[in-house]
Structure 1
Amino acid sequence: MNGVIFNADYFVLLGALLLIVGVITTKFSSRLGVPALVLFIVVGMVVGSDGLGIIYFDNARYAQLIGIIALVIILFEGGLQTKWSTVKSVAIPSLSLATLGVVLTTTVVAVAAKLVLDVSWLEGFLFGAIVGSTDAAAVFAVLKGQNIRERLGATLEAESGTNDPMAVFLTLSIIQLLLSDQPNYFLMAGSFFWQMGIGLIMGLAVGKLAAAAINRINLDSSGLYPVFALAFALLTYSITALVGASGLLAVYVAALIIGNSEDLTYRQSIFRFNEGFAWMMQILMFMILGLLVFPAQFTLSIMLKGLLLSIILILVARPLAVFLSVIGLKYNFKEKVFLSWAGLRGAVPIVLATFPMLAGIPNSQLFFNVVFFVVLTSALIQGSTISHVARWLGLTMAKKVQSSHSLELVSIGKSNAEIIEFVIDDDSMINGMRLENISFPNKVLVNAIIRDNQLITPTGKTEIKANDLLYVLTARESKKQLKELMEEKKETVEDENVKETVGIS
């Protein structure tokens, strides 16, 4: 009995130390210019059996399970933070990249894998499918806090959030072809439309149900609301996957619906809880994947083949897929170059590489090792240079204010009021105005202003300035009018004045 307790205590201690190391690693990643996910993988490799030998881990099934759960949570957090108004404007190019782009990338890499790895055509296409999609965890982590143009960032995030179903479908279909003597191509084609269509429908349905349930339920503790929201994310994935559809797509769509719900109760609490939890799952997932790799198996031949395939993926397959997928969709040459360079590979390809291992496909271990090397080089080379490439191409914008402050009504679930935060842009209509001169709706009060990380107690004479963070208490019935006022731009007012001057109604 004492031995069992000792083992449990040992693993708790080890888990705590790994989390602490993972969190500290994120601090060093920004200074070193290396994506944090690369350092998480390195930590996993260091403490693994071929490193310090602290942890021996070679169970692909557990790694796959942990990876899928982590991806659900990461996709959910990414969808919550994504504005529907932004995604709507890039829906067509994102979906084109998520479908046609993945197929094109898979095809080009398949030809390269056939020649470089000396495998069959089907095995070549299996390798191409595994690395064919960009990774949501990698893209969300690398783009967070960057000042890349909003349209480009939204395109990459929407693509990475919706292209996993295509990669999963291709991977599983090719595995089925390899294992089956008489594959049914008609059923495989129908399976694709089922996965995508039902995944979208389930995401919309559960997302609306979750938003309504969160708003209507009256919980005694505010800390239960984020847990309640997360439970819907896991529910969305599980019930969608159980009917043979794409659970990952459903989770991302449901998160979009929940995050963009107008009157979401405890919005900031839900967002911040899931942001922290997503970081924890990223640390866990990439460390587990690092543990699953045995660096001693990385022979010079594997590293050279992996490097060659990575170069083909980065410089040939991805650019070709991007340029063909967004034809006629109003992206200029520089934007296409950036989208090509920002196609990061991360956890998804490594998780997909476990499927052939579990299915007993020949060369599956070779594929896993090469895929891991491709992912590592992609994250290291592309991930560490994204911001530099954006600046070089002139595709950056003024850095947005990222507030670390939060203010929320503790009793919001039982009241008809809530506190909303607004960041004042340079072109905001109320920029430069005094509070006493702003025509706020009834039952609205500015509670606090954060300016240069300093708290300002607002009075009628207080002048609003660009980059101010306003916390506004509003009754539910005044919320829509308040948002319209705060989101109104100076150009809109000037354009209306011009129209009136020239007689345009």
Structure 2
Amino acid sequence: MDDLLISSDYFILLAALLLIIGVITTKFSTRLGVPALVLFILVGMITGSDGLGLIYFDNAKVTQLIGVLALVVILFEGGLQTKISTVRSVAKPALSLATAGVLITTAVVAAAAKLILDFSWLEAFLFGSIVGSTDAAAVFAVLKGQNGKLGSVLEVESGTNDPMAVFLTISFIELLTVEDPVYALLVGSFFWQMGLGLLLGIAFGKLGSLCINKINLDSSGLYPVFTMAFALLAYSITDLVNASGLLSVYVAAMLIGNSELTYRHSIFRFNEGFAWMMQILMFVILGLLVFPTQLFTWEVIWKGVLLSAILIIVARPIAVFLSTIKMDFHLNEKIFLSWAGLRGAVPIVLATFPLIAGLENSPMIFNVVFFVVLTSALIQGSTISIFAKKLGLAGPVKSEPVHSLELVSIGKANAEIIEVEAKADIPILGKSLAEVEFPKDVLINAVIRGTELVTPYGETVIKKGDVLYILVSRKSKKELKRMLNIHE
């Protein structure tokens, strides 16, 4: 019994230290210009059995479980932040890259893998499928706060191309392990997975939004938990009927995030923090799973470097240029889209599938995929901003308020506080509060001007850039937003 308690205490201590180190590395990643995911992986590799020897871990099944769960949380948080209006504006190029782009990348990389790794064609296409998609966790982390069309294309692409990579990976594993595969069934399976995943995502998104707003909980802290439950429900039920759970989660999140939500601020902040925690956990676990003595061998290094170069310089650009034919992109934009095709957690998680399936060359696949991801994250992830500036494509960065407002639960009062920024198109700009006829049950609580708090009164004039905190009853919220020209 004492040994069990000591073991539990040791595990909890390590978990705490890994989280603290993971959070601190995000500060260093910004200063060093290195994506945080690389530092998270290094933390796992250093603390693993080939490093300091603090943790021995080699369980691919547990890694896959944690990886998939983390991807659900990360995709859900990314979907919540995605505006449907943005998706509509970039749907054609983003979906083309997420489907045709993945297929083209897979084919080009497969041809290279056949020669370099001396695999069979099916094994080569399996490798190409694993590294064929850009990674949502990596792209969301690197492009966080970036505005503009290209950033939107990359985020929507990364959020929707994982299902294609998962489908191709599982399909090629089946072709390698089943004696008499029926190729025609794969086509039907693709449309079933994508079509039903989309429909169930819409259904869970609408159901989640309705339930969140209708239920009246005693604590505001329960709303984010309730919301996350719908993300897990959307993935699990969709996956149980052999449809794309990841696509379902992303679509459901977009619908929930674009709805009028009770305690919207609390829900978004919780999911942002939870997504970061799962991202840290996932990359540290992935770092623990790899053994540096097996990874950094001459065979893996030269093959990994060559395949990385082909993926970054050949396969991705070909996929981008072919997938965006006759679309409104000029040369510099296509070059940037090509360079910003980051690889991250998804390929490493998918590389555990051949390990679990017991394929002959699965260790080599895993190690080379891991090396490809590391080089992609280090080279592409650390130079995206530089490329954007050199190509004249550095878009505006979304401004984040330097202040914060923590709200006490007022669910029983059927009211909430909303945050409104006074932009150029807001009708009350330049008017005093006394001149504005607000709807019933509306009260201006505070005005933030720059870094100063302005106490509102009748003669207070609304200036551009002001942030207003407005207490409004839920029945008057829509009327207030129409008046202020606010569109979610």
Q: TM-score range by the shorter chain?
A: over 0.9
Where does residue 60 of structure 1 map in the other structure? 60
Shift of 1:481: 3.3
What SS does structure 2 have at the residue aligned with 1:487?
Answer: coil
Are the structure 2 counterparts of residues 453 and 108 from structure 1 closer, same or farther at C-alpha, using a change threshold of 3 Å? Answer: same
From 407, 412, 415, the counterpart of 1:414: 412
What SS does structure 2 have at the residue aligned with 1:400?
Answer: coil
Q: Considering only aligned residues, what root-mean-square deviation do their CA atoms show, in Å?
A: 1.7
The answer to whether the Cα contact below 8 Å between 1:105 and 1:318 also exists between their aligned partners in 2 is: yes
How many residues are matched? 486
Shift of 1:220: 1.4
Where does residue 283 of structure 1 map in the other structure? 280
1:18 maps onto 2:18 in alignment: yes
From 267, 272, 276, the counterpart of 1:270: 267
Q: Which shifted more, 296-305 or 15-24?
A: 296-305
Unaligned runs of at least 5 residues, structure 2: none
1:358 maps onto 2:356 in alignment: yes
Q: Which shifted more, 395-404 or 183-192?
A: 395-404
Shift of 1:484: 3.1
User: 2:373 & 2:405 partners in 1: Cα distance?
Assistant: 40
- Deviations along 1:427-448, one digit per CA (max 9) or x if unpaired, are 5454444333445334332211
Q: Where in structure 2 are the equivalents of 1:191-230 lying within 5 Å?
A: 191-230=189-228
User: 2:85 & 2:215 partners in 1: Cα distance?
Assistant: 27
The answer to whether the Cα contact below 8 Å between 1:165 and 1:249 also exists between their aligned partners in 2 is: yes
User: 2:458 & 2:116 partners in 1: Cα distance?
Assistant: 71
Unaligned runs of at least 5 residues, structure 1: 490-505
The answer to whether the Cα contact below 8 Å between 1:408 and 1:419 also exists between their aligned partners in 2 is: no
What SS does structure 2 have at the residue aligned with 1:353?
Answer: helix
What SS does structure 2 have at the residue aligned with 1:419?
Answer: strand
Are the structure 2 counterparts of residues 424 and 307 from structure 1 closer, same or farther at C-alpha, using a change threshold of 3 Å? Answer: farther
The answer to whether the Cα contact below 8 Å between 1:445 and 1:472 also exists between their aligned partners in 2 is: yes
Letter in 2 for 1:60: A
Are the structure 2 counterparts of residues 71 and 300 from structure 1 closer, same or farther at C-alpha, using a change threshold of 3 Å? Answer: same
What SS does structure 1 have at the residue aligned with 2:201?
Answer: helix
Letter in 1 for 2:231: A
Where does residue 318 of structure 2 map in the other structure? 320
User: 1:35 & 1:435 partners in 2: Cα distance?
Assistant: 45
Shift of 1:354: 0.4
What SS does structure 1 have at the residue aligned with 2:381?
Answer: coil
User: 2:465 & 2:342 partners in 1: Cα distance?
Assistant: 31
Are the structure 2 counterparts of residues 8 and 391 from structure 1 closer, same or farther at C-alpha, using a change threshold of 3 Å? Answer: same
- Deviations along 1:30-85, one digit per CA (max 9) or x if unpaired, are 11111111100011010011111111111100000000000000111111111111
Where does residue 340 of structure 1 map in the other structure? 338
Where does residue 454 of structure 1 map in the other structure? 452
Letter in 2 for 1:258: I
User: 1:460 & 1:395 partners in 2: Cα distance?
Assistant: 44
TM-score (norm 1): 0.93
Letter in 2 for 1:35: P
1:93 maps onto 2:103 in alignment: no
What SS does structure 1 have at the residue aligned with 2:270?
Answer: helix
1:142 maps onto 2:142 in alignment: yes
Shift of 1:316: 1.1
User: 2:458 & 2:326 partners in 1: Cα distance?
Assistant: 51
What SS does structure 2 have at the residue aligned with 1:21?
Answer: helix
Letter in 2 for 1:189: V
Letter in 1 for 2:376: S
Letter in 2 for 1:327: I
User: 1:259 & 1:408 partners in 2: Cα distance?
Assistant: 20
User: 2:430 & 2:298 partners in 1: Cα distance?
Assistant: 63
- Deviations along 1:361-420, one digit per CA (max 9) or x if unpaired, are 121100100100110011111111111211222222333221254446534433333221
From 373, 380, 387, the counterpart of 2:385: 387
Shift of 1:469: 1.9
1:377 maps onto 2:365 in alignment: no
Are the structure 2 counterparts of residues 391 and 428 from structure 1 closer, same or farther at C-alpha, using a change threshold of 3 Å? Answer: farther
- Deviations along 1:116-160, one digit per CA (max 9) or x if unpaired, are 1111111111100000001111111111133xx422121111111
Where does residue 474 of structure 1 map in the other structure? 472
Letter in 2 for 1:419: I
Shift of 1:163: 0.6
What SS does structure 2 have at the residue aligned with 1:290?
Answer: helix
What SS does structure 2 have at the residue aligned with 1:305?
Answer: helix
1:294 maps onto 2:311 in alignment: no
TM-score (norm 2): 0.96
Where does residue 166 of structure 1 map in the other structure? 164
Where does residue 77 of structure 1 map in the other structure? 77
Letter in 2 for 1:102: V
1:29 maps onto 2:26 in alignment: no
Shift of 1:488: 6.9
Letter in 1 for 2:301: M
The answer to whether the Cα contact below 8 Å between 2:219 and 2:409 also exists between their aligned partners in 1 is: no
User: 1:380 & 1:467 partners in 2: Cα distance?
Assistant: 37
The answer to whether the Cα contact below 8 Å between 2:290 and 2:367 also exists between their aligned partners in 1 is: yes
User: 1:154 & 1:80 partners in 2: Cα distance?
Assistant: 14
User: 2:143 & 2:360 partners in 1: Cα distance?
Assistant: 37
What SS does structure 2 have at the residue aligned with 1:90?
Answer: helix
Report sequence identity in percent: 69
The answer to whether the Cα contact below 8 Å between 1:429 and 1:488 also exists between their aligned partners in 2 is: no
- Deviations along 1:286-329, one digit per CA (max 9) or x if unpaired, are 00000011110121121111111111111111111111112222
User: 2:256 & 2:162 partners in 1: Cα distance?
Assistant: 21
Letter in 2 for 1:22: G
User: 1:71 & 1:137 partners in 2: Cα distance?
Assistant: 7
